[in-house]
Amino acid sequence: MFDFSESFEAGVPVGGEETVALAERIFSGADAWLKTRLGMEARPQQTNMALAAARAFADASALLFEAGTGVGKSLAYLIPGLIFAKLSGKKFVVSTLTIPLQEQILKKDLALCRKLFERVPALERFGGFKVALMLGKHNYLCGTRLAQALRRHEGIFDGSDGSDSARELRLIRDWAAQPGCTGLREHLPQRVSDEVWESVNADSSACSRRHCFPDTCFYQRARAAIGEADIVVVNHHLLFSLVGAGAAPQGDETGILYPNDFAVIDEAHSVPDVATSYFGTEISSAGVQRLLARVASAFKKGGVLAPFQSAENRTLVANARVAAEDFFSDLRFRFLEKSSTFRFRERDWAQNVCEMPLGRLETKLKQIAQLESRPQPKDEIGDFAKRIEAARLAVRECLELRDAPEKVYWATLSRSRARTVTLCGKPIDVAPQLAETLFSRKTAVVLSSATLTDGKSMARFRKSCGADLGAGTALSLRENSPFDYEANMEIFIAKNLPEPDRRDGSLDTARIEEICAHCIGAMLAGGTLILCTSHEICRALAAGLRERLRGTRREILVQGEEHSRQELVRRFIRDGNAVLVGTSSFWTGVDVPGAALSQLVVTRLPFANPKEPLVEARGEWIRENGGSPFFEMSLPDAVLQFRQGIGRLIRKSDDRGRLVLLDSRLLSKPYGKRFLGALPHGNWRVFSPESFREEIPPFRG
């Protein structure tokens, strides 16, 4: 995380009315500067959004804005936001969910903003705006910690785990010495182990302004750049992890992330889910063992705890590691043998064998920190103690179900070979916390997305994000996409296909495989994205398609196999006619303009699993308050996710594509009308399982 202990000077000039006036001149009318100086087409929807954003900045108010694909929402908030930032002296925070949008803003949109400002004399004063990308501390190399590790690497990196840690450390040293090195782990020329990176990254109390300086530490350099920036680009996960950890301005001080800032949160449909992750408790078996392994390594020769090495201290670490292993192994055996998820309803569901061993090690480390006279080792040892204390308290909270019934607690078992067990405690309703952190800060906040409504109403999103609980009234506006969907998108809907099993949600994929294989073969050019709602369906469907499409020279890419999400999308774009089968994260944030994504197949409507602990608990809460979980939560959430999914197909005005919907509940159930109403146009065609080969013709794009 970033350290926000350093305050930022609040700007005096307001500049709101001037921002609105300039936004009108840039976006409105036949002689709008955006058109005459950059040659960009006039979009009434973009103009309306830009003026609404400018007014929100000027009034320090909240705005929820749904902007359909193609509106040009990034420029609509960036241009007035940059102007207001320079006029007011306030820092402009832009938060996104996905890496592609973040890269688009940093590499394309801000360059267009700068070009506009440079080409219009009245805007030249804004052209020198400074930009900074904010990443979590663990992403950065700390020069001070690297120097320490190099001095003591013989003691820490002895290769006992079978890896060549000393070689990896030398690789980092040589990379850091190169001109233009960013110090970001993702830019390393080769992968290094987590153990080595954790010993040199900035995520430690040893990396601070007391010990590190911008000329020697990449994190401090990045932090200094952020302090000077007019606009800071961040992702939702870091934003809410910082806010959840108390990094935001406190008390009556205005601002969301910095004192006196203002913010745009793009891809805002994901805000309630992301915030839930960071406004709760989470601890894993892998995380605890990794932390204790770092403490054990620090007691070795050359480590920060080496001067205090003793049989007693080694025993304390060993006891803590054994206790943690016993606790999580017992949890896995008792609760996760039959299912990968278990919800806890009664407190003290297991004996807390971690409390005393972790507590004793924590106490010893605090005593050692007091004895240590050197400032930097003292901070690093104190950091170990704080992290062990946090782990101990997290386990205790989950055992006690401390904040129930406002929180729901459960355990999960990962699908990976490591079989990691994770304990979670999450708020059932995150709206009150979001209302406090976003809508009661006396500053402007704009939440934007292509999908904030269920096609008609924004009521569900307003409620879940806390907009109706904030100190002020949040304005809701909507602009539809300017694209001609009826001309550019064919829509086919299946009738009389088997519905998912009501008992366990399983789906017979045999007929779906057959239809998908035909649809893929009917694409004379371009690729196909198939959206599923579970990993089981995803894997089964992919396996069947590989058999049916053998010899067709189409690569079948599958989520959850060997490649990351980013790599799967990269390969999908590169191949141009591949088939990508995905679930969960592929319903949103996938941006593949052009022919590489010419067909989208939705296998079933994206209703959340009602047995997932958080969904189940929220349904119980709604029912206890006299409501209907299906109509107040399940249905609107599914429609919003459905809109996100089908939004993957047409990304540019000249894109053409085919949408195939394989869930017959669209036609057979009364609630199907809600999904049909969310389609981009109503000129869809129905096909049957018996005659789909004749009813779904070849697609030429």
Q: What is the pLDDT of residue 5?
A: 37
Average pLDDT, the chain: 91
Q: Tell me, what amino acid is at 12?
A: V
Contact 345, 397 (CB under 8 A): no
Rounded CA-CA distance 164/193 in Å is 9
Cross-strand partners of 265: 95, 447
Q: What is the pLDDT of residue 147?
A: 87
Per-residue pLDDT of 36-86, as tens digits, reads: 999 998 799 999 999 999 999 999 999 999 999 999 999 999 999 999 999
Rounded CA-CA distance 580/568 in Å is 8
Q: Is 190 exposed, middle or buried (0-12, 13-18, 19+ CB in 10 A)?
A: exposed
Per-residue pLDDT of 481-526, as tens digits, reads: 999 999 999 999 999 998 876 655 566 778 899 999 999 999 988 9
Q: With cut-offs at 50, 70 and 90, classify the pLDDT of residue 3.
A: very low
105: DSSP letter: I
Per-residue pLDDT of 524-552, as tens digits, reads: 889 999 999 988 889 999 999 999 998 88
Cα 544 to its chain centre, rounded Å, is: 31
Average confidence (pLDDT) over 624-653? 95
Contact 566, 538 (CB under 8 A): no
pLDDT at 701 over 90: no
Q: With cut-offs at 50, 70 and 90, classify the pLDDT of residue 292.
A: very high
Rounded CA-CA distance 590/101 in Å is 10
Rounded CA-CA distance 645/586 in Å is 8
Q: Which of 476, 481, 515 is nearest to 497 (CA)?
A: 515
Q: What is the pLDDT of residue 154?
A: 54
| Per-residue CA distances from 203 to 1, 49, 141 (Å) | 7, 39, 9
Q: What is the pLDDT of residue 555?
A: 92
Average confidence (pLDDT) over 189-214? 88
Q: And the tokens for 428?
A: 């059932």
Rounded CA-CA distance 169/197 in Å is 8
Which is it for strands 231-235 and 131-133: parallel, antiparallel or unpaired?
parallel
For the chain, helix, strand, coil in percent to 5 are 50, 15, 40
Q: With cut-offs at 50, 70 and 90, classify the pLDDT of residue 176.
A: very high
Question: Above pLDDT 90, what percent of the chain?
Answer: 78
Q: How many CB atoms lie within 10 A of CB 5?
A: 7
SS3 category, 636: helix
Q: Which of 541, 603, 551, 595 is nearest to 572 (CA)?
A: 595
Phi, psi for residue 216 in degrees, rounded to 5: -125, -15
- Output the DSSP codes for 520-562: HHHBSSS-EEEE-SSHHHHHHHHHHHHHHTTTS---EEETTSS
Rounded CA-CA distance 416/410 in Å is 19
Rounded CA-CA distance 580/587 in Å is 12
Q: What is the pLDDT of residue 74?
A: 97
Q: What is the pLDDT of residue 9?
A: 38
Q: With cut-offs at 50, 70 and 90, classify the pLDDT of residue 334.
A: very high
Q: How many CB atoms lie within 10 A of CB 174?
A: 11
Q: With cut-offs at 50, 70 and 90, classify the pLDDT of residue 361.
A: very high
Q: Which of 360, 381, 354, 219 is nearest to 287 (CA)?
A: 354
Q: How many CB atoms lie within 10 A of CB 509?
A: 22
Q: What is the pLDDT of residue 395?
A: 98
Rounded CA-CA distance 599/650 in Å is 10
Q: Is 560 exposed, middle or buried (0-12, 13-18, 19+ CB in 10 A)?
A: middle
Q: What is the pLDDT of residue 11?
A: 37
Rounded CA-CA distance 337/342 in Å is 10
Q: What is the pLDDT of residue 504?
A: 56
Contact 60, 14 (CB under 8 A): no
SS3 category, 336: coil
Tokens 């200094």, located at residue: 224
Query: How many angstroms separate the first and last alpha carbons of the chain?
Result: 46
Q: And the tokens for 603?
A: 């296998």
Contact 480, 48 (CB under 8 A): no
Q: With cut-offs at 50, 70 and 90, classify the pLDDT of residue 206.
A: confident
Cα 616 to its chain centre, rounded Å, is: 23
Per-residue pLDDT of 131-172, as tens digits, reads: 999 999 999 999 988 988 887 665 445 444 444 778 888 899
